[in-house]
Structure formats: structure tokens, C-alpha cells
Structure 1
Amino acid sequence: MATPFLVSYDPASPADGLSLQQIAYFGRVLIRASDVAQAENFIQQNFRLLDVYVDATSISTTGDLVDILNAGAAKIFISLNQLTALSEEQTVPSSRLVVYTSSNSEADAFQNWVCKHIEREEAGISTDASAVHALSVKLGLRSEAQLLYHTYTGDVTVDSIKDTMKQGAVSIVPSSALTVNRDESCGKIQACSLIAARGVPDKSNGLYATTVTDERGICLGFVWSSDESIAEALRTGTGVYQSRKRGLWYKGQSSGDVQELIRVGFDCDSDCLVFVVKQIGRGFCHLGTASCFGPYTGLSRLQKTLQARRAEAPAGSYTARLFNEPKLIQAKIMEEADELCHATTKEEVAFEAADLLYFALTRCVAVGVSLEDIERNLDLKSLKVKRRKGDAKGPWAEKAGIAPVASESKPTPTPEKEEPKPDESRIEMTRVVTASASPEKIQTYLQRPSQKSNDAIVALVRPIVQDVRDNGDAAVLKYTHKFEKATSLTSPVLNAPFPPELMKLSPETQEAIDVSISNISKFHAAQKGSNDALKMETMPGVVCSRFSRPIERVGLYIPGGTAVLPSTAMMLGAPAMVAGCKKIVLASPPRADGSVTPEIVYVAHKVGAESIVLAGGAQAVAAMAYGTESISKVDKILGPGNQFVTAAKMLVSNDTSAGVSIDMPAGPSEVLVIADKLANPAFVASDLLSQAEHGVDSQVILIAIDLNEQELQAIEDEVDRQARALPRMDIVRGSLEHSVTFVVKGIDEAMALSNDYAPEHLILQIENAEAAVEKVQNAGSVFIGKWTPESVGDYSAGVNHSLPTYGYAKQYSGVNLGSFLKHITSSNLTAEGLLRLSKTVEQLAAVEGLDAHKRAVSIRVAAMKEQ
């Protein structure tokens, strides 16, 4: 279902042209690799998005070419000489090779090679020759299979691409030449026009027949598309189609059942478009089912059920235990696997396999892994060229009664060029020695995990925000009943004074909250000095001043529901109280029985909150932004949340009629630890893991200053050992897969890397750590010395844990007292002062042509002279 063009992309210049998320709409990308590590890293980071083709013509050895294929490259582009060397030394599927050629002699040599291999599979060829069709005939390649790839020596144009398309070849188009926007004046090629050029319109209505599938390829429904709807789908990254009655159809605009666009392609003969989407909400069909052909079945149905139960399972239920007790699900998986191994009849095998799949998928859903992720990993494994023998590991082999490998009569020789495989079960970070790495490679490893476009999320959030704005309390209650299942609630707000029975805490918890609020309040109160009134005379008779005033009404979003997060309530509520905000409104999703966790109620009581909005998500944000019959409107909304909360905050802050601001952009949590030879390996590992356990999209970085192999190994061993003891071990493993250790020579290089990355949390486990703080330019919060773990900042030290992530520490501060204040300036001039300044002001007003400005001064000067 590929498109008739292949987008080439330069990872070193990601801002030049389409983003990777946009390129993914077309299914595949071509990158140029200067070394194996660069290609492997790119494939690893992006294999979930799209198929990666690699221009490997600069790779020198055949072993490295095989390594790139083994890493998961869909195809590699190579020279004829590389092809010859590969065919002599390696067994490589020819279908994954594309050979560059620009002359007839090279084409003849390629034809000879094809004659030897074509019985197995078909190889591709890339050419800059114009006679594409003639070349395909000469080589005996099936043009409809698009085995020819056409490059361009000059600027690529729409007409040249369409001409190549007609000849049955794939055009290689730089991402910088394409756009998904509909602005024709930008001078770039609109990708939608290339999609439409391939399609075969229906003769009766001129539209393109379109099949919509989910990420697993399950058909959701049949619709129609037009040139305009294709363009709008690519522009918004959502499902947009052409209704024969109503025109453009933005799927889910009214129902909320929106679609995130994953990929666009065609069937085998291009008379049917294929839209691959991620369906959000109830399903595709207007009847509320997953597809127009009925509900999901099998594994897809099980996944939907488990995802729903993960969000809604009552505390203490068996399903909740499976999601929250890792050892229980671990035991069930081993139990069911053992029962499957001992099943004998066909019916028993099917029964036990179903049980094993149930618990295995429950394990996956618990850590955010989907069937789509699993199947994509299976696809990636199928691309491996080099394979291990696949013998069972020692304990399991012994349990099954398999003889040790050493007893085999003919040991399997190890290929000379194949290095020993590392222990795949080991939990570790990638290591990069900066002295031997290129600047480009270092920058690649400094990149955060890619975040998906939030257009589909905004499309889902927008109708909720509008509904709350229009219908107030009724809408808030509707969504709370729907999402939180708190159907007993009759009011969306809990007003102060809060009943004591809602704040029943253990003495230990109450004391911990009291101590934390005290420390947070002390530290933020001390910040008042930097906000004291400023008054100065800039010239005789001209006095300027600045004074601060608290933001009157603030809304604090506290994630809640089944989770207990008093720390966020403290971090936002205490500074608001210290600043003197007149109205403090908390919002937190209630539990299924309609109650809020007592820790949050207690913090709300301690900081003098007016009320707690019993809602979460977009509806809570909208309620505070616009106000309802019983929920107070606020002037600023602060606090973390999921992607729906973040999208809603951005949406209301951009609505001038709402008159509300927000604190800062948000992203996944991150930490950067700088450690030298004196650092305790166990301390370093614990700091890294404290952020890795937040989620698989979290990132941790270690900068090791002049550590030798033994010292590095000590830290890596601690990471592996401590990670295995964590209940969220698999989340940690996912986070560490895109985390990195940089080995540097000195503190200056370490600080330069850190400032470039701009971490949310920076931990200095080095000698004389306090002196190094002077070198910190970009960071959310700094933790100094071996006795200062990041955890104390998250809870009780006094600093705030609401910090900028994703590199925003270069532009934003974390939440502080100033986040709850606004600064006002004043001017106070005497007659003498105005007279001294009058000519300056009048001159500048005249330059700008603002006569009324000038007259406001000249009238007063004239009045002085009349006295």
C-alpha cells in the first residue's frame, strides 16, 4: 500500500521540510548513513513510525551492510560493487537491496546479477536515467511492483514526479521539497497532489473509493475521498473524508470519535485509497461499534476490553490487582505457560493458549504496550538477517529435559565477522564516548523521544471544551459520569470548609504533608524579596516604580482518580497561598464513588482553597477557564496532566475570550546526572531510575567524567540490579532503551552537554559540586551533591517540582512564587521632570507620526509656560 514516492530525510536538518511524523503518513523514509551506529539508532527510534530505507553507499564493509539490514532497515541502497561483494560473502534477501546505477554498462552488470538471483526474489534498482520504462523492460522488472526508484539530478517538480509515476517507478523526493500545507505560494510540492495523481477516481462521482483500517489492518469502514479531503487529512493529521451529501467530513467532529492519521496508501491497482488510522473514542461506526462491520473480535476485542478495565477497574477488584501487582501477573503468565506446555489435545492447547494470551496482553496493557507495538516488533524481528541458534536458556532447557548445547556432536561455528551477542535481558543504557563520536552522533543521542502530533487530541478535546463552555455544570457532570464513572455525583464541586470526615489520614501521612507544606511555603515566601517594590529616579523629576500583585484567581489541576498525588497539590497550593491569591480552585478527578482522595482534600484545606472541582481532563480545564454555575472562573491554570489536559490548557489559553493563561509547556519527565570518579554507583543508579519509572517516554542521561571501564561497569551493574527490584521494571526498561551514558573528559565538557540538553532535573554527584553550579545555564532544578536525591525536590525539600521539560528549561522557569504574581509598573513626573523629558518624547512621537502622543506633552508644556 505504498505511495508512488519515497521521501528522503536528513536527520541532521530535521527542521528543513516535512517532519518525521508527516513523512510517516507516506509509510517510508530514505536516510543517508555515514556509519552503522547512526543508521541503527535512527531505525531504533523510528521503527514504530515507518519503514526505514538506508542509503548505505558510504558504508565500507559488507558486515556493516548486513548489520544495518539486521537492525531493521526495510531496504538498503548500495553500489554495484557493494552488491557484488555482498553476493559473494553473505546470504542477503535480494528483495531488500536497491542498486544505484546511472549508465547502461552498470545496468548490464546489474542484469547479469539479477539473472543469477531473480528466481528467488526480485531486487530493485535506483537510476537517474530518464528512460525509466525502457530500463524496466531491459531488466525484466515488473514495473507495477515498483522495483525502480528514480532520483533527480536537478530540482524535482510535480510534472517530473508524475511522469516517473506513469512509467511505473518510485520518485525519490527530498523532504525539503514537500509540504502538507495548502499554501501554494510556498513554492513546495503539495504531497496531496502526488497522492491524488496516483488514485483512480470513481467514474460515477469523481471521488476516490477509500478503505479505512486500524493499525492492525482491520477494516473499519468504507468512505469516499477527494483531492480536498486528502489535503486536509494530511494537513491536520486526522481522518478527513468527503461526504457525498455534506462535503468535507471531519471524522468525529461532532461525536468526539476522532481519528489520528497513521498512513495513506493504495491497493494493488490504485483504484482504492487506504487510510490507516488510530481510532479514538467509541469506534468508527455511527452506531458506536468499532467498525461498520460490527464489533472487534479476538485479540483486538480483548485489547479494547483490557484498556477500558485498566481505566475503570474498581480498586481491589481482580482486574485492578492484575494491573497493579506485577508479581501476581508474572506468576499467572508462568502458570499458564506451563499449562500450555503440558496440554495434549487440540482443545486443551487452544484453551490454555487463550489463557496465556489473556494474561500476556494484560501485562502489556499495564505498561502501555499495544498489539500494534507487538506486531511491529514481530515485523522488525522478521527483518533480521543474522540469527542466533535459538537454543533455550540453561534453566529452561534443563526443566524441559533438553541436553546442553555442549553435548552436541557438531558444534556450530561462529562466523568470523559476527561479534558475540550481549545478554538481551540486561537492562542498560546506550554508551557514547564523546571523544570518538561525531558532533552529529552526539546531537542524535541528545534528542528526546519523539512526540506525536496532538492534532487528533485537540480535535477530541475541542468539543468537550465547547460543551462545558455552553452547558456549564451539566456538561461537567456528564463527562465526570462518563469518564470517572462517578454516577452518584450531583454537583461538580466540593466547597470549603471541607468536612473533617473527608480528610481522615494516618498521623504519619498528616505529619509528612505538614512538614512538606511548611518547607515549600518557607522557600517560596523567601522569594518575596526578589519581587519587592522597586522605585528609582531615572532623571531629576522622573520616578519609575514596579510593584507586584497576586493573580487573584488561580486554578490548580491535580491528577487524581485512583492515584494519590498530594505532592502536586502541595507544590501548587502552597505558593498560591504564600503569594496571596484571593481565590484558589483545585480540580481533581474523583473516584468512582464520587469522593476525592483525603490527602488532596487535606492539602486544599491547608492552603485555603475555595473549592475542589470534582472532574478531570479537558472538562475540568474548561470549567475553570470559563466558569460554570457553581465553579469559579480563574485567571491562570497551573499543573500537570495527560495529553488531553495539556491540549485543553493550550486550547483555552489561545482563546482570547477565555482570558486565562497557563504555566508552561509540558512533556515526559527527565533527569540528567553528572558523576565523577568519587560518585557512589548505587546513588547514581538510583537517581537515574527514579525518573525512568515515570513512563516509557521518560528519558534519563548520565554524563560520566573520565570514568574507566571498571567504574562505568559498576554503575551499569547497579542500574540493572536495582531495576530488577522495581515493580515497574518493564517501564524502566522501555525508558532506558532511549537513554544514554556520555563518557566525557572533564567538567567543562560535561556542563556544555548538560546546558545543551537543558534537563528538567540536573543532579551533580561530583567533587566540589557547589562550585559547578556557576556553570549551569539551562536546567529546571539542580540537586547538589551525593546526599541530595531528586526525590527530595519532588516532595519535601521546599523547591518546586513543576518544572519545564523537553528542553524548555532554555526558555522557561519552573513554578515559583512569581508564577502566581503579576508585576505592575508606574511613572510619576513632576513639572520639572516633564519639561526635561518633553523634547525627547515629542521628537520620537513625531518620528512615528503619532501626533496625539506629541500633543499630550506639548499641551502640558504650554500650560507650564502660561503660569
Structure 2
Amino acid sequence: MATFLPLLTEENSPLFNALDRIGPIILNAQASVPLPETPQHPYLLVDQSTPVDPQEIASWLDAGVEKVIVPLASVKELAGTIPAERLILLLDVANVSAFSDKIRESVSGVLLKTPSIDLDTISSVAKFFAGSTIFVLSSSDSLPAPSNIRELQSIGAILVLPESQLTLDATSNTQLNVADAFMAPIISDRPDGLFPTVVSSQTGHSLGLVYSSRQSITESIITGKGVYQSRKHGLWRKGATSGATQDVVQIRLDCDSDSLEFRVVQHGSGFCHLNRQSCFAEASGLPALEKTLQSRLETAPEGSYTMRLFNDAKLLQSKIREEADELCSAKTKEETAFEAADLFYFALTKCVTMGVSVADIEKSLDRKAKKITRRPGNAKPQWIQKETVPVPAPAPTKPIAVENDGPINMRTFDLSTTAPEARVQLLRRPVLKSDEMIEKVKPIVEAVRVHGDVALLELTAKFDKVHMDSTVIFPPFAPETMQIDEAVRKAIDIAYANIHKFHAAQVNDETLTVETMPGVVCSRFARPIARVGLYVPGGTAILPSTALMLGIPAQVAGCKEVVLATPPRPDGSISPEVMYVAKLVGASAILKAGGAQAVAAMAYGTKTVPKVDKIFGPGNQWVTAAKMLVQNDTDALVSIDMPAGPSEVLVIADHTAIPAFVAADLLSQAEHGVDSQVVLLAVDLTPDRLAEIEKEVDAQAHALSRVDIVRQSIAKSIIVKVSTVEEAISFSNDYAPEHLILHLENASSKVASIDNAGSVFVGPYTPESCGDYASGTNHTLPTNGYARQFSGVNTLSFQKHITSQEITADGLQGLGPVVATLADCEGLQAHANAVRIRLRENSR
């Protein structure tokens, strides 16, 4: 603890340096005194007339300020934002009033401004602010005596002395010598009045034990040199004859105020008279290594390994990286210590080369520890392959193991007894938090953006467990890669024809032309998006159907470049079904990669992967987050179809519904993945009829090969009992499902009431599966409630529309004055001038 605190209001280098050696300094925030890099982190006094800025306060603390001293109003504003241990309350004794516990808990000290040093008043304040340090600043014209410092210390308070009352000269009636102030509470228990003094390096390693006197302490404080008291020879100015001088960095008292520690920078051969660094033994560990390296920098012979490291920056850089990598790979305690020692050696070699000492490193660590604002701490892009990144589970080769083999049931709720707030919860999907997922995919996307194919290959090896030399296939595609079962080929061909027919019907090649007023013709015409990327998921299912659903509208729209991305199989190949579809839709490239890395490769392009203008396709949460991330990056200049997430279905069933059909429709979505969302709206169903549906769900689920996936998704799914069809449709419109299936009497008459859905399946013989594969509609649909504002993928998704206008001279006569008036209204004179200059020319 400091014996007193000086308050500086203007720069005074000799006094400042002396004070800095013996304890913290209070600086005025409005003074010209800079924030120095010193052993004693300064305190900062914020003037009462200065409006507090929490960000500025935080920046001061981050820059090395130990504590800020602010008035009551500022404490109230900073409480909860700035840690209590970094705040001191500035309090005028004349304005002391009751304080809340919150104020007391928000500070670690009180600077009490008082007209005189009244111990009773100070004690009273200290009692209320128990646990806080009390600093006392007297406004009295009389100079406080050293006895005042001792009295205050006896009650746990510290005197604050303004610069005007301090001097490096002898103490007078108006000024107190800084050494006298520092030594006021020091008491020696030795007959000779000397103080045991531990001398240590800047890093706290002991150099020796000596003694100090008041005279030697005073000289050390003022000169900054190591000066001690020899019990035989009197005043001992260290190094005066040997040249092994010391620069004093810091002088500290122990807890009993009867001994001291001098932290010094030792020059010459060392502190000990035996020419050793320490009187206790030769240095070891980091101090010894630092000394050796510093010596080698000056004396190492040419050709030695250490000199090679000093002279060859690339070699040293490589060794640091090599040892860091080996440390990361260490598995045991012994191996970790061994590799860490190697890394320390090369890192310290770099530091010594740059003139950086271990003390400098510790200062940097201390500064970082003082910071109150923190960065996320994510790895930089070039090191992402060395970072442990949470990744999606690899595609399972067998069903996921589940211990529980009991009934597979959905949870049931009754809307008639559900409170409004609970109804809102029923509409929510238990899916990922977008912000968290985007933070997770950022390093992956950035790695591909910066390092291109190299990162793409490394990430594919890491996440897909496939090692390849290239990730891109260009046409013509080898026939052997498209060998599929004949029945599957025929099915794909029929699906292709239906989907193509429906999407071709959506094309409107006609130009929309409207004459908005005589001589003013406006037009609108479609153009294909030139380059598109199609993401076809892999994971727990092979989806050639998605390749059809994305590739056909791109083909119909006339996109010039179609990049199809899909995760590779374990042998590095693509499923032949997807390859066959890629040929049918005219894909211009196939990217053998999945996840966020595939999205990034298409968004930014690499040497081998063509850059696209728009990315389509469903995927897991990593794919969705990556799509959302790149669409907001102006460097990518890429858009996306929609923020698609896990598959979902909502089924509305009344008394006409066939239980087996309803159960089958629910399960057809539940098998997509464990995060699939399934909802059944039961319209006035009897308990027996509802039990039939649940029995069918359990029975059919147990017959599925993907039963373990279904078990997990169904457990999170819900049955909502409603009274009427209208109530069910209202709930459905609020839910906005990806797939809506109507098992209703006169189902087709209810479609007109549907406002929000990705795709609607009408009647008992319209399973959602048909839309997924071959009816002709598109199965890439908005999920997670986005059907409120997004359409499913269609031909128009692969086009953009351009408008044009053509105005005759006569047309401008009628329209021009309107435009000029509006431009004048908005103050855009050049806009108005572009019209008027033509009107003048036309009137000649």
C-alpha cells in the first residue's frame, strides 16, 4: 500500500519520475500530463464539470489507468459498466449524505475532499464504505505533517498531497520532501535504525539482501539509482567503483512498514560481488535464458546456431511456428512442458533480437490484465485449421444408437385451455440461435475467402474426412460416375419432365410495356441471373431430388453458369444419382464440398471454383448460417434464396382423416433429421381417433430404417387440439409452415384461406412426398416461419427484372415540369437542371 498519493496537475518530469518510483500517482484528466508507461499504473481524476463518457472511461482503463476517480453522478452512470475495483468515488465532505448500498458496492475507494484532517469524520466515512480505501485530500492552506500521514494510515486511510505541496528539495514550511512523505510511516525495529531491503530484478527474482537508511532511500528516490547503507562503510552507491550500477524502477514497503523492496534494472556483471546476477545462486529458468541470449547476441561466434537464429529471420519464424504446432499436439504433462520450453526458447530469441525483455513481456501482460473491454478472441483466418471448431456430425453409416426403445409419442396441447403467451411458445421452433451460429462459421468462411482452394481442401479433409487433390469436376462428366439403377433413372427422368414442365410454365418472356402518359413508355423485362450456386445436402440422406429442384429452374431460366455443390462420399466421389441429375440440368461445375466451406467457395470463388451471384439450396444450420453471413458481405456480392433451416410439416386433420395417412405424412418429415419440426392440428378429434393416429405414428416409426432419427424428432414435435377448421387455419397461418397438408373435408375449398405456407398439399391422396420428388412443384421452401415473407424456389428466383423507359420530346413537355418541381422540393438542382435544359432546347 502507498504511504501517500501525489496529485499532479501539470507536467513536471523530475518530480513525476521520483514520485513514480514510490507509488501510484493521481493525474488530472484535464492536465497536460500524459498517461505514461510506468510501473505504478496511475489513477485518473475526472473533473466534476466534465460530462462522463463511459466509453472514454473504458478507453483510459484499457490504456493503463489503474482507477478512475469520479463524482457521485458519474458513479451512478458507470455502475455495472465499469468494475468496482477500478472506480473511486470523489466525495466532498461538505456534501456528504446518505448513500445506497448500490453506490457502496460500485466503488473500491473514496477520495474525500475535506477542509481539514478530521479523523472522526474520516473514520465515519470509512465505516460506511467498509472494504474500500479512503483517500483524504485536505483543502487547508497549512502543510500536512508526516505525522498526519501516520495517523491516517493507522485508520486505514491514505493522504493525497497536491503537487504544489511536494518538492525534491528539503522539507520547508510550504512543501514536503517526497522522500520524507514516503518514509513517514516507516519504522525500523533495529538498534541502528536501518531497514532490511530486498533487491530484485524487474521480474521479481531476488538479487540480494542489503540495508537502507533514510538518507540512502532519499537519494534513491530522487536520483533513480541504487543507493544503500553499508553497515561497515556507510552510504553505498551501487556500482560507483565496479560499474555494476542499478536503475531503480520501483520502491515498495512491506505490509508491516519495516522493510523494503527495490526493483531494479541491473547493469554490468551482476549484483553480487562474485560477479553473479544474484547473491543467492546463479540465475535459472527464464532469467538465465534471457541473460544467455543477451550475451550471445553480442558475442556468439559466426556460424553458431544461436547466431543463425539472430541473423536469419525466416529460420527463426519457422522454428517458432514449428514449436507452437508441436506444443498444440502435446498429449502428456511431460511432453507439454518439453515443447513449451522449446517454444519459450525460440520466442525469447525473437524478443531479444527485437530488444524486448522478459520485464517488457510482463508489463504487456499486466496491461492486458487491466483491460475491461475484451475482444471475442477468435482465431485469425490463416489459423482456422488449427482451431477446434464445432463441426456437424459426419454422415452415419448405420442408425444412430438410441438406448430407449419405448413408444414414439408426440407431446399434446389443447388450444382451448392454452394461455395466449403459451400459444406463442407453441409457434416457436426449437432451433439454433442465428447469431451464435454465424459466429461459429465466420472463421470457416474467412479461411476460404483468404486462402481459397488450400483452405477448401483442408476443411474438406477435416469436416468430411475426405482427402482430395481437387474439389471441382467440370463437364463432360465421365459415364462411369453416372451408373445408376435403371428404375431410378426412369424415375428421375419422369420427375425431371414434370418439374421442367411446371417451371417452364412460369417463364414469361414477354416484355411488360405501359404508356404511363402520352409520350412516356415504361417497360419491364426479365433476364437470367448469370451465375448461380446450387447447394445439394449430403449428410444423413442422398438428395438427387434437390439437384432436380434447383437445377431445373436454373436451366429453364437460362442461367449461363450453374455450380452444383454437394459433400463428397468417403472415397471422394459424388453419388451417381446426383451426377446424373447434374448432367440433365446442364451443370457447368460440380464442387465436391459441403457445409459453410462450400458456401464460402461459391460466394467468393477460388482458382478452381467459379464465383456465383446467387446461392440456392437447403442445408443444416452451418449452411444456413454461412448463407446468411455471405449475403451481407459486400466483398462477396452474392444473394441467397432464403434462410432455409430444418425440414418441417404441419398437418391439419379432421374427422375425415385416415389415421395411417396422417401418421405417414408426419413421419415423412420427421425422418429428415433430429431437428425436423412436426406439428399436427387435430380438429375436434375424439380421444379414440387421436389415439389411433398416435398408435400409427409409433407402429410406422418402428418399421423405418431411420427410426432412431425419428425417435428424436418426434419427441420434440407437438399435437395441438383445436375446436374448428378456422381455428386450425388461423394457427397454421401464424406458424407459417414449410409444408402444409390438409386432411380435411372439402379440403380444396380451404386453400383460399391459406395466407402463409411454403407449399400446400390438398386432400388425402396428396402426400408431401410427391411434392418432394416428382409432382412438379419445387421442394426448396422457406422454413422457420419465413413463409410469411419468402416464396419457395421457382423459375423467377433465377431471374431478375430490369425496367426501362423511353420518353419522347413531347412526352417530356408533359412530364418534365412535374419532375423539376419534385427535384426542387428535394433540393436536388442537378436533377431539375437535367430536365429543364432539355425543355429549353425543345422550345427553341
Partner SS state of residue 759, structure 1: coil
Please say if residues 618 and 644 of structure 1, whose CA atoms lie closer than 8 Å, have aligned partners that are also in contact. yes
Cα deviations by residue, 1:794-852 (Å, 9 ceiling, x for unpaired): 11111111111111100111111111000011111112211111221111111100111
Q: How many angstroms does 1:767 deviate by?
A: 1.4
Distance in 2 between the 1:698 and 1:464 partners? 25
Residues 461 and 648 in structure 1, CA contact (< 8 A), matched pair in contact too = yes
**Over residues 777-807 of structure 1, what are the superposed CA-to-partner deviations in whole Å (9 max), with x where a residue is unaligned?**
0000000110001111111111111111111
Secondary structure of the structure 2 residue equivalent to 1:647: helix
Judge conservation of contact 1:253–1:459 (CA < 8 Å) in 2.
Answer: no
Shift of 1:465: 2.4
Deviations 1:586-618 (A, max 9, x none): 111222322111111111111111110122222
Aligned to 1:520: 499
Q: Which moved more, 1:845-854 or 1:649-658?
A: 649-658
Once residues 778 and 499 of structure 1 are traced to their aligned partners in structure 2, the CA distance between those partners, rounded to angstroms, is 44
- Pairs within 5 Å for 1:376-387: none
1:22-37, aligned counterparts within 5 Å? none
How far does residue 475 in structure 1 lie from its aligned partner after superposition? 2.5
Do 2:612 and 2:638's aligned partners in 1 also have CA atoms closer than 8 Å? yes
Q: What secondary structure does 1:815 align onto?
A: coil
Provide the C-alpha distance between the structure 1 equivalents of 2:459 and 2:473, rounded to a whole number of angstroms: 17
User: Which of 712, 719, 728 is residue 706 of structure 2 equivalent to?
Assistant: 728
Cα separation, 1, equivalents of 2:635 and 2:715? 44
Q: Which amino acid aligns with 2:398?
A: N
Structure 1 residues 853 and 707: CA distance shift in structure 2, 3 A: same
CA drift of 1:658 comes to: 1.4
Alignment of 1:812 with 2:793, yes or no, is: no
Q: How does 1:521-670 map to 2 (within 5 A)?
A: 521-529=500-508, 532-560=510-538, 563-670=541-648
Name the SS for the 2:538 alignment partner.
Answer: coil
Aligned-residue offset at 1:245 = 7.6
| Other-structure match for 2:423 | 442
**Could you give the per-residue CA deviations for residues 331-381 of structure 1, whole angstroms, max 9, x where no partner exists?**
xxxxxxxxxxxxxxxxxxxxxxxxxxxxxxx547xx9xxxxxxxxxxxxxx
Partner of 2:432: 451
Deviation per CA, 1:479-538: give whole Å up to 9, x if none. 223333332x22221000101111111101111111111111111111114x64211111
Residue in 1 that maps onto 2:478: 499
Distance 1:444 1:250 in 2: 32
Is the counterpart of residue 311 in structure 1 residue 291 in structure 2?
Answer: no
SS of equivalent to 2:688: helix
Measured in 1, the distance between the counterparts of 2:670 and 2:420 equals 26
- Give 3-state SS (helix, strand or coil) of 2:506's partner: helix
With normalisation by structure 1, the TM-score equals 0.53
Cross-structure match for 1:851: 829
Deviation string 1:100-120 (CA, Å, 9 cap, x unpaired) is: xxxxxxxxxxxxxxxxxxxxx
Q: Does 1:479 align with 2:562?
A: no
Residue aligning to 1:254? 380
Paired with 2:452 and 2:627, the residues of 1 have a C-alpha distance of 17
Cα pair 2:619 2:646 within 8 Å, conserved:
no
What's the offset of the Cα at 1:769? 1.1
Question: Secondary structure at 2:611's aligned position in 1?
Answer: coil
User: Which of 405, 427, 431 does residue 412 from structure 2 map onto?
Assistant: 431
CA contact (8 A) 2:564 2:590 kept: yes
SS in 2 for 1:510: helix
CA contact (8 A) 2:381 2:450 kept: no
CA distance in 2, matches of 1:806, 1:161: 43
Which residue identity does 1:439 align to in structure 2? P
**What's the CA shift for 1:723?**
2.1
Confirm or deny: 8 A CA contact 1:554 1:636 kept in the other structure: yes
| CA–CA separation in structure 2 for the residues paired with 1:817 and 1:760 | 19
Deviations 1:28-74 (A, max 9, x none): xxxxxxxxxxxxxxxxxxxxxxxxxxxxxxxxxxxxxxxxxxxxxxx
Question: What are the superposed Cα offsets for residues 118-168 of structure 1, whole Å, 9 maximum, x if unpaired?
Answer: xxxxxxxxxxxxxxxxxxxxxxxxxxxxxxxxxxxxxxxx976576899xx
- C-alpha separation in 2, matches of 1:427 and 1:622: 39
Structure-1 separation of matches of 2:514 and 2:818? 20
TM-score, normalised to structure 2's length? 0.55
RMSD: 3.2
| Alignment CA distance shift 1:165-1:834 (3 Å) | closer
Q: Is the 8 A contact 1:479 1:619 kept in 2?
A: yes
Matches of 2:541 and 2:738 in 1, distance apart? 23
Measure, in 1, the Cα distance between the counterparts of 2:665 and 2:649. Answer: 8
Structure 1 match to 2:448: 468
Q: Aligned runs of 1:44-83 on 2, under 5 Å?
A: none
Is the contact made by 1:621 and 1:645 (CA closer than 8 Å) also made in structure 2?
yes
Structure-2 change in CA distance of 1:751 and 1:595 (3 Å): same
**Structure 2 CA distance for partners of 1:165 and 1:571, relative to 1, 3 Å:** same
Which amino acid in 2 is paired with 1:470? V
Structure 1 CA distance, aligned partners of 2:100 and 2:593?
54
Percent identity over the alignment is: 54
After TM superposition, the structure 1 stretch with the greater mean CA deviation from structure 2, 728-737 or 603-612, is: 728-737
Contact 1:256-1:460 at 8 Å conserved across structures? no
Is residue 2:777 matched to residue 1:799?
Answer: yes
Q: Which moved more, 1:803-812 or 1:608-617?
A: 608-617
CA distance in 2, matches of 1:834, 1:809: 43
**Rounded Cα–Cα distance in structure 1 between residues aligned with 2:483 and 2:649:** 35
Which has the larger displacement, 249-258 or 832-841?
Answer: 249-258
- The 2-side partners of 1:628 and 1:476 are apart by 9
1:388-428 deviation line (CA, Å, top 9, x unaligned): xxxxxxxxxxxxxxxxxxxxxxxxxxxxxxxxxxxx94332
Counterpart code for 2:471:
P
Instruction: Give the secondary structure class of the aligned counterpart of 2:507.
Output: helix
CA 1:160–1:558 in 2, change beyond 3 Å: closer, same or farther? Answer: farther
C-alpha distance after superposition, 1:192-236 (max 9, x if no partner)? xxxxxxxxxxxx9xxxxxxxxxxxxxx9x9xxxxxxxxxxxxxxx
Cα distance change of structure 1 residues 257 and 688 upon mapping to structure 2, 3 Å threshold: farther
For 1:758 and 1:659, locate their aligned partners in 2 and report how far apart those are by CA, in whole Å.
29
Amino acid at match of 1:492: T
Kindly indicate whether the alpha-carbon contact (under 8 Å) linking 1:477 and 1:490 is maintained by their aligned counterparts in 2.
yes
Post-superposition offset of 1:853 = 0.8
Unpaired runs of at least 5, structure 1: 1-157, 167-203, 205-218, 222-241, 259-279, 285-303, 313-319, 327-361, 368-423
Q: Distance in 2 between matches of 1:716 and 1:593?
A: 41
Between the aligned partners of 1:555 and 1:675, the Cα distance in structure 2 is 38
Aligned AA (1:666): A
Q: Which residue of 1 aligns with 2:469?
A: 490
Alignment partners' CA distance in 2, 1:833 and 1:471: 55
**Is the contact made by 1:770 and 1:784 (CA closer than 8 Å) also made in structure 2?**
yes
Q: Give the SS at the match of 1:311.
A: coil
The letter of the residue matching 2:832 is K
Number of the residue aligned with 2:228: none
Q: Please tell me whether the aligned partners of residues 561 and 596 of structure 1 are also in contact (alpha carbons under 8 angstroms).
A: no
Q: For 2:409, what is the secondary structure of its paired residue? A: coil
Name the aligned partner's letter for residue 816 of structure 2.
S
1:256 offset after TM fit, Å?
8.8
The CA distance in 2 between the partners of 1:552 and 1:255, in whole Å, is: 30
Instruction: Give the conservation status (yes or no) of the 8 Å contact 1:427–1:719.
Output: yes
**Partner Cα distance (1:776, 1:159) in 2:** 58
Contact 1:696 1:732 in 2 (8 A): yes
- 2:692 is equivalent to residue 692 of structure 1: no
